[in-house]
Amino acid sequence: MVIAILLFSIGLIFMPALKIYTFLIIEAIIIPSFVLLKYYWNVIKPEKLYIVIILSSIIGIIWDYFAIKIGFWYFPEEGLFSFIGIPIQEFIFFIFYPMLIIGTYHIIRKNNFTVPWLHLKEKYCIYLVGIFQLTYLFITFITNRVTYLGLILFFAGAPSFYFLFRERERLHKYSLFFSIIILNAISIFIDYLAIKNNAWNYNNDFLIGKIGIIPIESIFFTTFITTVIIGLYETLPDKNVFFEKW
């Protein structure tokens, strides 16, 4: 904890010399990630965490690339170093955000803690997810309109349904619920400072609405992404990750 406070203080000292996005990544994502993993490394499964980071980073890069191309959001800050049109800070975010989610999840994770929950056979979950995604694609094709919320539901909402209701689901609901609250608080804090300081902005044409200056979609995004990352982490076997059934 002392180290965390020290690092945070150093970040505040050097904030004027940093771009706001870099500052937010360091203070709100990287430092908390390292602190949480340090305290809970004995219960976190490293192999599972590495796989989650790799998969979420690949999907995140693809998602970000097309979101920027379509115009969901943009980065107006001059001099922001980027690769394939994506700011380098985004790549750092893709690596450390899953670490922050898994670390937060383990703060209040209790073994053998169960909640009565509806479960479906995995094949039915897959069918329902597939039907929803195909329906979305059909509607998008007919209307020729893409929305930020629609893509969030397609890429994260539907998989969240699978992880929550599949027959072999192993999520700790209590921990998941509070992780979603904590991660939303962090995301709103980052979004607020970033928008206020013009680190990035959202295109209102693709939004359903805002709470203040925070897009409603940001809450859906954080909620579903948190669920998907934790769901994937818990789905992976604790041992022999590459050989046992997921």
What are the tens digits of pLDDT across the range 28-82?
888 888 887 777 778 778 888 889 999 988 988 888 888 888 888 887 755 456 7
245 assigned to some structural domain: no
Please tell me the predicted confidence (pLDDT) of residue 246.
Answer: 55
241 assigned to some structural domain: no
What is the rounded distance in angstroms from the CA atom of residue 223 to the CA atom of residue 106? 17
Mean predicted confidence (pLDDT) in 116-125: 80
- pLDDT of 218 > 50? The answer is yes
243 assigned to some structural domain: no
Please tell me the predicted confidence (pLDDT) of residue 17.
Answer: 38
* Tokens at 121, concatenated: 């056979």
pLDDT tens digits, 126-153: 999 999 999 988 988 888 888 888 889 9
Domain extent, residue 61, equals: 2-235
Please tell me the predicted confidence (pLDDT) of residue 216.
Answer: 92
97 assigned to some structural domain: yes
Among 28, 29, 96, which Cα is nearest to 57's?
A: 96
User: Residues 173-191, buried b or exposed e (16+ Cβ, 10 A)?
Assistant: eebbebbbebbbebbbebb
125-134 contacts at long range (C-beta below 8 A, 24 or more positions apart): 125/161, 125/162, 125/165, 125/166, 125/167, 126/162, 128/161, 129/158, 129/159, 129/161, 129/162, 132/158, 132/161, 133/158
Q: Which residue has the higher pLDDT, 42 or 238?
A: 42
- pLDDT of 236 > 90? The answer is no
Mean predicted confidence (pLDDT) in 199-207: 86
CA atoms within 13 A on the CB side of 66: 11
36 assigned to some structural domain: yes
Please tell me the predicted confidence (pLDDT) of residue 42.
Answer: 80
What is the rounded distance in angstroms from the CA atom of residue 85 to the CA atom of residue 61? 10
- The mean predicted confidence, pLDDT, of the chain is 81
Among 72, 97, 66, which Cα is nearest to 149's?
A: 72
124 assigned to some structural domain: yes
87 assigned to some structural domain: yes
pTM of the model: 0.84
pLDDT tier for residue 3 given thresholds of 50, 70 and 90: very low
Please tell me the predicted confidence (pLDDT) of residue 89.
Answer: 83
Q: Domains in the chain: how many in total?
A: 1
35 assigned to some structural domain: yes
